[in-house]
Amino acid sequence: MKAKKVICIDARLWGGKHTGIGRYIENLIDNLVKSSKYEFVLIVPPSLKSEPKLDSFTKYYARFHPYSLFSQFEMLYLLIIIRPDLVHIPHFTIPVLWPGKIVVTIHDLIKHFSKGSETTTRQKHTYWLKYFGYLLIVRLAVLRANHIIVPAYYWKKIIAQKFRLTTSKISVTYEGVTELYLQQKPNRDYDPPIAKPYIVYTGNLYPHKNLPTLFKAIKLLNGKVNLAIVCARSVFTERAEKYIQREKVSRYVKFLGYVPDKELISLYSQSEALVQPSLIEGFGLTGLEAMAVKTPVIAANASCLPEVYQNAALFFEPLDSNDLYKKILLLLENNKKRINLVKKGQKLIKKFSWRKMAKQTVNIYLKTIQE
């Protein structure tokens, strides 16, 4: 009888604390279906040794951070021991010394488009050294991988053009909406930490997130609505606060810091809308999560957002604060439009499933092993 195929998944960045990539890995592993034809082996940090969700998997432990040089040698050592038929690297940190088959997930190329001193708080020479290192490792990952997974057709086209690849080497697997957002009911007694009516922005404060356009729209609204900013990381908070003060909209904007998912569901449900002003996104999962709890979404007509949100969001011209102002005002004053968007959002989210994504990913594994 033929031995099982061994599929190794690099899960060193597993979990919500690593933001989007960590969620991707966690949901992928949660939805893997076991088979007599193959087995999954995980490479994880020692901190996940007692993680109950990973108890049913064979685990190997990696001590070095995925972005460190030492991790290259550690990964090679572990893969020699594991001897997998295929390894899946869910980020661009591929083991360059490993000669076996590799599937890599490239979530986006945002740093290729959003770069320079405005995008960092590091010293200039440190930033550019790390930036060119990033360009090198991404190029190595894309060219070395046997197959590439991306979260949207937008990125498939960009990567194929930029690295002159055949599109057959790249597969799209849409991400899904976390079960909590589909099942958890908002807390009716929830008291939001911001005065109503309010809109919500969830995400980091990097320049490509296009927050100045949102702040200018808030200024034009002149007190008709407040803005809640949910941001787990705050390296650019000081810069954003100075901008808000300069625009004289401080009284309408509140930084809430990190908000747990259960509370975020209630925050969304009592808001007028989630605003996604980003100029470039990997996928736009926050918008789908808002739609799942019946919150309208206003989004920039940019990058992959029209592909993902389809007709279920209200789109505005990315750098036009006046257009965004009009779209926010429309939702504040037109309840029929709001209800219509909510209905479309509820229909749209049914198309996005982590279980479907995991099944497609396993099919990519098996196809790549056979090639």
Of 15-24, 125-134, 253-262, 294-303, the least confident: 15-24
Q: Residue 259, SS3?
A: coil
Q: How many domains does the chain have?
A: 2
Q: What is the mean pLDDT of residues 298-308?
A: 98
171/218 same-domain check? no
Closest listed residue to residue 230, CA positions, set 268, 185, 182, 285:
268
For residue 9, pLDDT over 90 is answered with yes
For residue 121, pLDDT over 80 is answered with no
Average pLDDT, the chain: 93
The predicted structure's pLDDT at residue 107:
94
343/360 same-domain check? no
Asked if residues 229 and 254 have their Cβ atoms less than 8 Å apart, the reply is yes
For residue 16, pLDDT over 70 is answered with no
156/265 same-domain check? no
Q: Which residue has the higher pLDDT, 329 or 52?
A: 329
Residue tagged 């009592």 (tokens):
270
104/152 same-domain check? yes
Q: Residue 297, SS3?
A: strand
Q: Which residues contact 1 (CB under 8 A, 6 or more apart)?
A: none
For residue 18, pLDDT over 50 is answered with no
CATH of the domain at 71: 3.40.50.2000
Asked if residues 230 and 200 have their Cβ atoms less than 8 Å apart, the reply is yes
Q: What is the mean pLDDT of residues 318-344?
A: 97
pLDDT in tens, 63-75: 998 888 899 999 9
338/197 same-domain check? yes
pLDDT in tens, 52-97: 889 999 999 999 988 888 999 999 999 999 999 999 999 999 999 9
The predicted structure's pLDDT at residue 263:
94
Closest listed residue to residue 108, CA positions, set 146, 149, 166, 66:
149
The predicted structure's pLDDT at residue 259:
92
pLDDT band for 25, please (50, 70, 90 cuts): very high
Q: Are strands 198-202 and 170-172 parallel, antiparallel or unpaired?
A: unpaired
Q: What is the mean pLDDT of residues 163-190?
A: 92
158/169 same-domain check? yes
130/35 same-domain check? yes
120/99 same-domain check? yes
101/246 same-domain check? no
The predicted structure's pLDDT at residue 59:
95
Tokens of 188: 């009716």
Model-level pTM?
Answer: 0.92
235/341 same-domain check? yes
197/139 same-domain check? no
Q: Which residue has the higher pLDDT, 206 or 298?
A: 298
Q: Which residue has the higher pLDDT, 38 or 15?
A: 38
For residue 122, pLDDT over 70 is answered with yes
pLDDT band for 1, please (50, 70, 90 cuts): very low
pLDDT in tens, 151-160: 999 999 999 9
89/212 same-domain check? no
The predicted structure's pLDDT at residue 152:
98
Closest listed residue to residue 103, CA positions, set 170, 26, 27:
170
pLDDT in tens, 190-237: 999 999 999 999 998 989 999 999 999 999 999 999 999 998 766 788
pLDDT in tens, 231-260: 876 678 888 888 999 989 999 999 999 899
Closest listed residue to residue 23, CA positions, set 206, 138, 134, 175:
175
For residue 292, pLDDT over 80 is answered with yes
Range of the domain at 164: 5-176+353-370
The predicted structure's pLDDT at residue 221:
97
